[in-house]
């Protein structure tokens, strides 16, 4: 491994300190460093600046510095190229990030030695079908969410799984999440926690107007299709809570597994259940 891409969130406090520590370590090991142009300019590291296309074409591994949002955004950009990613947490929770700042030197040394495993995470493709046209949108690592806009009424959505009509929902929206995304928006909406090693898809209604609506777990090989009611207005589709698309009345959204997976760097001394305890359950 000779080239590493670093993706820092320049808005995070002290990100420049962490970035400098990483750069100095990698320089000592004669590792080539690439940083996205905008971030490199903002943080004063123009000598490592490169376009996104150059970075994806050249790097062997990616490191993000920020919160889960930084990791999600970067993973969507590099996953198709099969590049493994490691997140350094400088956010509030950082559930997806593997490394805390206090562990930086130890974990960076392990990365340079190749002392880690690569865990594949399911991602979802989404397509908006409108009249006789289709619009492909960015793949999702966490979730695809269909929800009402700021002032719309409750949505009416029809759910089909592998072409079979499954449910009518009257709700504020519907979350289609990966097992990675089960600890995100879906969890807040009452959905279950799913180990990310399980390749399943989770469907969770948002504030359903019924007493018997529950989350539904299906195979990642099954295709999800959601129809909006033709009279419904002010609907939006979001990808990982970061990319927004406006839906029109009568639109159909088709969601299925991507042909590739996001690759996360994992260390043997880190357990998923330990992360649950320390970051979500706040146990002792």
CA–CA separation, 226 and 128 (whole Å): 10
Helix %, strand %, coil % of the chain (to 5): 25, 40, 35
CA–CA separation, 7 and 90 (whole Å): 13
Write out the catalytic residue numbers. Answer: 68
Backbone angles phi, psi at 29, to 5 degrees: -95, 5
Coil, strand or helix at 87? strand
CA–CA separation, 205 and 184 (whole Å): 14
CA–CA separation, 222 and 256 (whole Å): 7
CA–CA separation, 43 and 46 (whole Å): 8
Tell me the CA end-to-end span of the chain in Å, nearest whole number: 38
């Amino acid at each position: 491994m000779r080239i590493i891409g670093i993706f820092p969130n320049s808005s995070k406090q002290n990100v420049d300190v962490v970035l400098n520590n990483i750069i100095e370590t990698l320089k000592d090991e004669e590792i080539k460093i690439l940083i996205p142009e905008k971030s490199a300019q903002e943080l004063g590291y123009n000598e490592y600046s490169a376009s996104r296309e150059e970075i994806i074409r050249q790097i062997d591994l990616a490191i993000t510095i920020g919160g889960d949002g930084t990791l999600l955004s970067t993973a969507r950009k590099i996953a198709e190229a099969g590049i493994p990613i490691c997140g350094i947490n400088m956010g509030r929770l950082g559930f997806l990030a593997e490394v805390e700042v206090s562990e930086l030197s130890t974990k960076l040394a392990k990365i340079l030695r190749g002392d880690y495993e690569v865990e594949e995470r399911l991602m979802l493709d989404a397509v908006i079908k409108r009249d006789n046209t289709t619009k492909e949108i960015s793949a999702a690592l966490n979730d695809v969410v269909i929800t009402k806009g700021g002032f719309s009424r409750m949505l009416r959505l029809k759910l089909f799984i592998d072409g079979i009509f499954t449910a009518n929902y009257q709700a504020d929206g519907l979350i289609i999440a990966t097992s990675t995304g089960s600890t995100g928006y879906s969890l807040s909406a009452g959905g279950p926690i799913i180990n990310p090693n399980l390749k399943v898809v989770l469907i969770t209604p948002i504030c359903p107007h019924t007493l018997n609506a529950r989350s539904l777990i299906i195979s990642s090989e099954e295709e999800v299709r959601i129809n909006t009611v033709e009279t419904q207005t002010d609907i939006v589709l979001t990808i990982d809570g970061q990319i927004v698309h406006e839906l029109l009345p009568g639109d159909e959204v088709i969601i299925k597994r991507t042909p590739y997976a996001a690759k996360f760097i994992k260390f043997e001394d880190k357990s998923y259940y330990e992360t649950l305890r320390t970051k979500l359950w706040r146990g002792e």
